[in-house]
Structure 1
């Protein structure tokens, strides 16, 4: 995992989760995405780049019982596990770089809030898509959020690529068919606004 792992572990060791720009007190837009796509607690979900987010607790509260959280930073997952307390054992925690991850199983939902836009090199995006195809079931749902075209150009000291729905659709291509898109004005812990582009895709092969 190399320097990427060192960078993100450093971020989470130097800051509490509430002090990073992507922090949300509640993962409202992720839950909205699940509702828009009609996805309920019987679905399996992998949250890519889940970090120290509050999504696992929100999913458990909704009755989800097949939850995997993937992140390159072990320190981020440690913070999420600590927050969950005894419920931590109801979640599968995976420390891996998504561009090199070899999933041992498949999922109904692939959720990514703010990982893909850090992949500025074509080989990284190609590797991400390869992992996505390995992990997401035919007929499954890809939910992805990136900085919008008028969003930040950098985050956590790193450059990003910004997207609109058409650009994301072009990145993933067949067999992914866009099923919805919307915008989010994310307010950081210090009050600035970051514009996000959200998209949902269906993997269109028959299950």
Structure 2
């Protein structure tokens, strides 16, 4: 199994590093929230965070009263950091330990969020499997927020190669079932003070 899809690789990363030590750490996922919150009803909007790991997106959603939040990650060690941080509130989140390229969703979501998973899928088979899960887990009108390294972003992350995207090439990769609504770039500063260029794209399922 390629390391991009290896549970062992990512489990080891989170066993060795605290959430605030990984290069993709954010104190607050502002751009993601800017696109998730408008029009969302905390009582009914179902949100899944793909590769959410130790991200603080779930914290922010719980703070705003969202009642249907799912976080999926291949590494239980990453999810364990989030559960510990959230304490008793962790019971309000559905935690899924799964490889996104082998996941068969049993329900559909109004919002699919992915910050920095898709760009690790450098092989066509991995992208095809991801898109199958995306199709199964969304419905017409669902919003999809995907952040990848921009074309001028890093070529590798966590010791692994990545596929960089522009909004246009990401739209092509997702296919005609998804309409590109808007996009933006972000200069993400890592804990080590390096700058990584991300592009965020918002899609709607047709």
TM-score by structure 2 length? Answer: 0.95
Which position in structure 2 is the counterpart of 1:69?
71
Task: For residue 128 of structure 1, give the secondary structure of its aligned residue in structure 2.
Answer: helix
Contact conserved, 1:45 with 1:109, CA < 8 A, in 2? yes
Q: Does residue 1:185 correspond to 2:187, yes or no?
A: yes
Measured after TM superposition, the shift of residue 2 of structure 1 is: 8.2
Measured after TM superposition, the shift of residue 39 of structure 1 is: 3.1
Deviations 1:48-89 (A, max 9, x none): 000101111100011111000000000000000000000000
Query: Partners of 1:153 and 1:40 in 2: how far apart?
Result: 38
Equivalent of 1:107, from 106, 109, 114? 109
Where do 4+ consecutive residues of structure 1 move more than 6 Å? Answer: none
**Count of residues in Structure 1 that have an aligned counterpart in Structure 2:** 203
Task: For residue 139 of structure 1, give the secondary structure of its aligned residue in structure 2.
Answer: coil
Equivalent of 1:146, from 133, 139, 148? 148
Query: Partners of 1:39 and 1:159 in 2: how far apart?
Result: 35
Which position in structure 1 is the counterpart of 2:93?
91
Query: Partners of 1:53 and 1:76 in 2: how far apart?
Result: 9
Which position in structure 1 is the counterpart of 2:159?
157
Task: For residue 124 of structure 1, give the secondary structure of its aligned residue in structure 2.
Answer: helix
Contact conserved, 2:142 with 2:205, CA < 8 A, in 1? yes
Which position in structure 2 is the counterpart of 1:39?
40
Task: For residue 77 of structure 1, give the secondary structure of its aligned residue in structure 2.
Answer: helix
Gaps (5+ residues) in structure 2?
none
Q: Does residue 1:54 correspond to 2:56, yes or no?
A: yes
Gaps (5+ residues) in structure 1?
none
Query: Partners of 1:68 and 1:180 in 2: how far apart?
Result: 24
TM-score by structure 1 length? Answer: 0.95
Matches within 5 A, 1:130-145: 130-145=132-147
Which position in structure 2 is the counterpart of 1:17?
19
Contact conserved, 1:72 with 1:95, CA < 8 A, in 2? yes
Contact conserved, 2:50 with 2:117, CA < 8 A, in 1? yes
